[in-house]
Chains A and B, each alone.
Chain A
Amino acid sequence: MKMTPALLIIGGLLVFWSAVYVSVILPWETMPDDKSAAWMKWTPDEAAGHDLYIRNGCSYCHSQFVRAVDWADAGAGRLAERGDYYEQEPAILGTERVGPDLSQEGGEHSDDWQRAHFINPRNTRPMSLMPSWEFLGDEKIRQLTAYVRSLGGKTAAYRVARQDKWHAAATAAWKLGVDKNVDWLHEQVPAVWRPMPNPYPATEAALQRGEKTYQTFCIGCHGPMGDGQGPAMHYLEPPPLNFTVLRRHLVDGKYIGGIFYYQVMNGITGTGMPYFKRELESEKIWDVSNYIEVRFLGYTDATLSPQGIPAAYEPAWENTFKPPSATGESK
């Protein structure tokens, strides 16, 4: 075969456009353009937020589709559907995850958490690599927050409604004062969890593990002293809990581990406190509870009764902390 200009140009275009027909035109013509059950139309604010998301290159680090292999991050379990992207223009699926997938982020966090996070992501996520967006100004951050709230369509709307409901309840409780707020928070924990001691010994190694978890997940809101004065406090309502007041709110005068575990696991929906059960396993939550108790309450209920058969690996460890009631402190 001899290559002539005609063969080169006509043949080259023929093969190319045949391939384009298979890979582009055929799917374009045959893919139904329909809405998924979860799809919702954007409000003007949400559309403006999407525009900001596009123009500032958010999709270089955040994907917007959940895959069958995804496990831990928000939205895992609900696979992306073609119709989720109906009318989105452009729908940016993303190619890299420096940050989490955002396709189901709506309602995962409270709005004021999102604001604190946009202003400086290290406010709420100390190890985050995301840039600070404070320079965008309040109005644009509000639009971005509206957009993030919408991510997930109707499944997000369900979560957002739950956030809003509990936000009202938690804010009302906060306005009753420090102690009544703690009473309300404890009432929201199922009764079986409340008189539950921390089953993990508060050994030095366990406390060091707990400190690492605290610094990676908690310090931005609750602060290095556990007094609720982390950098995110300026943006959160109700504000982060001051752990030191819990010394006068122990259940039956001695238990607090079970309440910590439950609240770290499930979060306090409606407030800035997210759930951590997808990224922290059981031991990490018990260790960070022990860390908070020992460092900020000066007391831990670790290994108090009731106790079952201790795990084989656990070292000999004696809890020498006395509950405040035993030291003569009163509520």
Chain B
Amino acid sequence: MLKFASKPQSAALAFLVAGSAWFLIGTLYGLVAALHLMAPELYNNISWLNFGRMRPIHVNTVLFGFVATTLVGCAIYYVPALLRTRLWSERLGWFSWLCWNAAVLSGPTVFPFGLQQNREYTEYLYPFKVLIMLAILTLIVNLTLTIAGRKEKTLYVSVWYAVGALIWTAGVYPIGNVMWRPQTQALPGLVDSILLWFYGHNMVGLLLTPLAIGIAYFVLPRVTRAPLYSHRLSLVGFWALVATYTQIGGHHILQAPIPNWLRTVTVVGSIMMILPVFVVLANLWLTTRGRGMKLWGDPAGRFVLAGTMWYLLVCLQGPLQSLPSVQAVTHFTNWVIGHSHIAVLGFAGFIALGGMWHMLPLVCGRKLYSARLVNLQFGLLLFGLVGFFAVLTTAGLIQGHAWATGETVYVVLPSLNVYMALRAMLGLFIIAGAAVGLYNVVMTLRHGEPLEPAALEAEPLDAARAGEVSP
């Protein structure tokens, strides 16, 4: 029974396919919300298309559905591959998959009825939060036992990040969702916001970021056939990430009446975040130095390379945004929406897609149906996202400066109209990219040419591992 669930790498494949499907669904809901901001009476007074109910579907589906699902799919492939073993249990992987995707599915099926919690990223109803926790815990068990049964002694840096992401999220998730109070899943009073934004930031900082960095550490050396630049920088980047990212959620509520010392901690932490970012990027880019064209010429490598560039941009912008004088203008505006899109789709999303295109053939044993479609998806997403970032940043500056000179929120709305229209239009490119990607995944599974067994058995990261013995 359920033979397909014991097939090697079938759980990883299931995560990758689901991620591609959620990408299309999640961005379609984004369009529904974006159209509302362009023309609020386009579908007026229809409860199940209402903006307040559509926005959380978009946000949760792209965060948990598209990006996190794809990243986890890559992780449960590369961890056993790097350790020269198999995933401890494919069936347990499928169980994690089922829990995780049932929770994501609850967004489009439950939120339209006005059943949600409104704390950003914690909107899923309680039973689905339990499912997410189950998925995280079973993934931890699965990866830990995979590591215990490894045939390769050395733990490559990608493995650290995969394990780190899961064990940290197992702490972040219940804290942020206040899971010990099932009745409201919140604490009374202002302190709730401190827990919420510790969580909100770390869904990106301690779930998406380490999983994406893990993929970059896997894909870039493999594509360029280059040894990892420095083992020492890997260590610094890893430990600095968990030490700094964990401290900075408070910058989301910097202007709220939180304690002053916490404001200081959170701004200092936000600036210090530049350290792990630079260290990781230096390590990755120095690894690929001199082989840039090789990277650019590989469709998957191109995605990961672009993802690291988004990472630099978003992590220069983030610390800047945490400064009180900058926030005085940017907070509450579309600037922040632009920032969150380049973080989730630009950095984590591009790397997740790059990881998927790199690993899909290794997972399913077939060559990609079309490398040109991967490049087409890259172009569509890059155009859409660069435009998104420009348009939303501009709209945010208009709002912020108008408010700062004494205009009300209402007075500024007509000035935003053209930007909201452009943003909806640019969203079409992103949706098209998602659709092209899903088509390519399906066609690869159905019609991709089989890979030679030799390619599948090849050493996953010999070249990269060579770097580890050097100091």
Given A15-B242, A57-B51, A93-B193, 11 extra CB contacts under 8 A = A16-B171, A16-B246, A20-B175, A24-B194, A56-B53, A72-B406, A72-B411, A90-B186, A129-B36, A129-B40, A131-B44
Residue in A23, A27, A122 whose Cβ sees the most chain B Cβ within 10 Å: A23
How far is B256's CA from A68's CA once the two chains are assembled, in angstroms?
Answer: 10
Tell yes or no: B320 within 8 A of A by CB: no
Shortest CB distance A125–B (Å):
6
Contact B144 A91 (CB under 8 A): no
Tell yes or no: A178 within 8 A of B by CB: no
Tell yes or no: A97 within 8 A of B by CB: yes
For A140, the closest partner residue in chain B by CB is B114
Q: A1-B235, A15-B242, A27-B258 are in contact. Are A100 and B410 (CB under 8 A)?
A: yes
Tell yes or no: B250 within 8 A of A by CB: yes
Contact A65 B144 (CB under 8 A): no
Tell yes or no: A188 within 8 A of B by CB: no
Contact of A87 among B37, B117, B188 (CB under 8 A): B188
Interface size on B, residues (CB 8 A): 88
Tell yes or no: B404 within 8 A of A by CB: yes
Contact A9 B163 (CB under 8 A): yes
Q: A8-B160, A23-B266, A33-B191 are in contact. Are A57 and B184 (CB under 8 A)?
A: no
For A14, the closest partner residue in chain B by CB is B242
Contact of B160 among A3, A27, A60, A100 (CB under 8 A): A3
Give the chain B neighbours of A23 by CB distance below 8 A. 194, 198, 246-250, 262, 265-266, 269
Tell yes or no: B216 within 8 A of A by CB: no
Shortest CB distance A23–B (Å):
5
What interface size band does chain A fall in?
A: 35 or more
Shortest CB distance B351–A (Å):
21
Top 9 closest A-B pairs, CB basis?
Answer: A57-B52, A90-B186, A19-B246, A97-B332, A89-B188, A279-B408, A67-B255, A132-B45, A54-B118
How far is B119's CA from A94's CA once the two chains are assembled, in angstroms?
Answer: 8
Residue in B157, B185, B256 whose Cβ sees the most chain A Cβ within 10 Å: B256
Give the chain A neighbours of B167 by CB distance below 8 A. 9, 12-13, 16
Tell yes or no: A321 within 8 A of B by CB: no
Shortest CB distance A68–B (Å):
7
Tell yes or no: B403 within 8 A of A by CB: yes
Tell yes or no: B46 within 8 A of A by CB: yes
Shortest CB distance A85–B (Å):
4
How far is B189's CA from A250's CA once the two chains are assembled, in angstroms?
Answer: 54
Stretch in A76-84, A141-149, A150-158 touching the partner = A76-84
Residues of B at the A interface (CB closer than 8 Å) are 36-37, 40-41, 44-47, 50-53, 55-56, 114-120, 144, 147-148, 155, 157, 159-160, 163-164, 167-168, 171, 175, 184-196, 198, 206, 235, 239, 242-243, 246-250, 252-253, 255-259, 262, 265-266, 269, 328, 331-334, 336-337, 399, 403-411, 413-414
Shortest CB distance B373–A (Å):
35
Query: Would you mind naming 21 contact pairs between A and B with Cβ atoms under 8 Å apart?
Result: A1-B235, A20-B198, A23-B194, A24-B175, A24-B194, A27-B262, A28-B195, A31-B190, A60-B118, A61-B52, A65-B255, A65-B256, A82-B258, A92-B119, A95-B252, A95-B332, A98-B413, A132-B44, A132-B45, A135-B47, A216-B414
For B396, the closest partner residue in chain A by CB is A96
Shortest CB distance A321–B (Å):
30
How far is B399's CA from A98's CA once the two chains are assembled, in angstroms?
Answer: 10
Tell yes or no: A41 within 8 A of B by CB: no
Residues of A at the B interface (CB closer than 8 Å) are 1, 3-5, 8-9, 11-13, 15-17, 19-20, 22-24, 27-28, 30-31, 33, 52-61, 63, 65, 67-73, 79-82, 85-101, 120-122, 125, 127-136, 216, 278-279
How far is B167's CA from A28's CA once the two chains are assembled, in angstroms?
Answer: 22
Contact B184 A89 (CB under 8 A): yes
Give the chain B neighbours of A86 by CB distance below 8 A. 188-189
Give the chain A neighbours of B248 by CB distance below 8 A. 23
Shortest CB distance A137–B (Å):
10
Contact of A129 among B37, B119, B195, B246 (CB under 8 A): B37
Q: A57-B52, A96-B337 are in contact. Are A15 and B188 (CB under 8 A)?
A: no
Give the chain A neighbours of B411 by CB distance below 8 A. 72, 216, 279
Contact B257 A82 (CB under 8 A): yes
Shortest CB distance B334–A (Å):
8
Contact B188 A57 (CB under 8 A): no
Contact A91 B192 (CB under 8 A): yes
How far is B337's CA from A79's CA once the two chains are assembled, in angstroms?
Answer: 25
Contact B252 A72 (CB under 8 A): no
Contact B413 A60 (CB under 8 A): no
Contact A71 B191 (CB under 8 A): no
Contact A90 B192 (CB under 8 A): yes
How far is B239's CA from A87's CA once the two chains are assembled, in angstroms?
Answer: 38
